[in-house]
Structure 1
């Protein structure tokens, strides 16, 4: 019985460490985005996007979409074109799993690549919730 309890506890610890999900607050995410190289003038749009598509949850995974893809992380980056499940690949050359665990940097870098090619219009959540609408004010951060 003690062996089963120890094994169960080990599995629970491993799962907790592996996922390391985080739900960011506005100022906390703003500081991370700036640290990861997002220009200050663009931060309100990125905050609005994160709120709209993932509720600022780094562990969010959704899908499958009509094309069979899944979307990963705080910016909901789709696997059909931008990441590959189980190995580095696609346009961002990143594992999809890296977009939902640990460092925020892979999500920021990949989403910046998407933005540079497609703009914020790429994300329906940004179009519906952020475009031509008041954006988060980060002056108090």
Structure 2
């Protein structure tokens, strides 16, 4: 003889599970933006600035051209990395870039890697690697955001 079991609160559980993707997405999006801001701030600190005036370039143009955006980088910019919130949605992609847009700091890659006549002054990948490693790296923070949003949804009614 088969026993019959009923699950109490199944509708409530289903509502919470339906709410999880949107709550997680919002939480992850905020955490990704915070991580991108920190990486860009480090890159801007390390970016070399012209000490002497130059008719061809504005002092600080390279530093000011460093930024991040959701989706693709501006045309002509050097892309360091794209942070993707895997498993949550395709629209969660942050691209960190330098040397594009209105500042016209096309020479970002020349400064980063050097040329035949100019020694490299790395600022871009050094910052990315520093934030990729360590205790408070991007992946750890995103995983923490997913766990926190799951707990938050589980506690809600």
TM-score bucket (shorter structure):
0.3 to 0.5
Instruction: Report the TM-score, using the length of structure 2 for normalisation.
Output: 0.30
Instruction: Report the TM-score, using the length of structure 1 for normalisation.
Output: 0.32
Between 1 and 2, higher relative CO (CA 8 Å, sep ≥ 6) is seen in 2
Please state which structure has a larger fraction of its residues in strand: 2
